[in-house]
Homo-oligomer: A and B are copies of this chain.
Amino acid sequence: MQVEALPSSVRSAVQSHRYGGRRIGLVPTMGALHVGHVSLMDAARRECDFVIVSIFVNPLQFGPNEDFECYPRTLERDLQKCENAGVDLVFTPATSQMYGSGAESIVSLTSLTRKLEGRHRPDHFDGVTTVVAKLFNITVPDKAYFGQKDYQQQLIIRRMVSDLDWGVEIVTCPIVREDDGLAMSSRNRHLSPADRASSQILFRALSLAQNLTQAGSESPDAIADRMQQLMAGVQGVEPDYAVVVDCDTLEPLVEQPERAVALIAARVGKTRLIDNQILRFR
C-alpha cells in the first residue's frame, strides 16, 4: 500500500493507472476510521481496480466554535485499517499542501447548503464542497464513495458533480450502526457512558418514524412532531432538528410522497450527532 502526502505524487501515481483504463475509486475521509468507513472501502474494492483513501481533517469545514482541534486523529490505526481493506493508495496531505498561501477559490451551492445542517453550521458545506472538488481533481476518480449517515452531504456532492460536470459517479453506502442502533461516527468516541446511553434516542426516534410510516396513519409533519416529542423527553439531549422532508430537495413535503427522508441532529452532552432514515410511504 502506497502512502503519499503530496498532491503531485498522487496525481502521477494515479495517472499511469488511468491510462491503463483501470477504474479508480476514491473514499474521502477525515480519518478516525471506523466500520462505516471500512464498508466504503469494501464497496470501492469490489467495484474499482485502484482504490484511494484520502485522510485529511479539513479545517475549511469546521466553524470557529467547532471541534477541529479535538477531532480524533488516529493515523497509525487508520493506515492499518486501509491496509487490511486492500486499499492501494492512502493520501495524507498536510493542511499547507491543501491550502497554499493566497488560496481564495471555493465551490459553493446556493440552496441545498443553506438548509438543516447548513443553518446550524454556516460555511460548513462550502468547506466540504471545496475540499471534495480538490480531491476529485487530484485523483480524477471514476467512482467516489460517501456514507448515507451524512445524508445532506452526499446530496450536495451529487448536486455539485451534476452541476459542474465532474466525470465521477457518486456511490452512497448504507449507514453502519452499533448493536444498539447508534450510527457509526468518528465523534462517538467523545461520548461519555451517560451520553452513550442517551444517544440511542436518535435511532429510536428514526425507528418510530419508520413504524409510523409503515402503519400509514400519520402525515410526514405529524411523524416529525412525534420524533421531536420523543427526543424532547431525554436528559442531556438537545435536538437541533428532527424533520421529514423531500429526499432530493430537503424541502417540506406538500403531498404525501412515496419516499421521504427523516433527518435528525442533536447535541448529546458536548457531542453533536446526526442520523437519518429513508421512509417509504404506502
Residues of A with Cβ closer than 8 Å to B?
7, 11, 18-19, 21, 100, 102-112, 129-130, 133-134, 137-138, 140, 159-160, 162-167
Q: Contacts of A105 on B, CB cut-off 8 Å?
A: 107-109, 129, 159-160, 163-164
Q: Contacts of A100 on B, CB cut-off 8 Å?
A: 162-163
Distance of A66 Cα from B170 Cα, bound (Å): 38
Q: A19-B19, A140-B140 are in contact. Are A107 and B164 (CB under 8 A)?
A: yes
Contact in complex: B103, A106 (CB < 8 Å)? no
- Please list 7 pairs of residues, one from A and one from B, whose beta carbons are closer than 8 Å in the complex, sorted by A's number: A103-B162, A104-B159, A106-B107, A107-B107, A107-B164, A137-B167, A138-B165
The smallest C-beta distance from A12 to any residue of chain B, in angstroms, reads: 10
Q: A19-B19, A104-B159, A140-B140 are in contact. Are A7 and B109 (CB under 8 A)?
A: no
Contact in complex: A133, B19 (CB < 8 Å)? no
Q: A19-B21, A140-B140 are in contact. Are A134 and B165 (CB under 8 A)?
A: yes
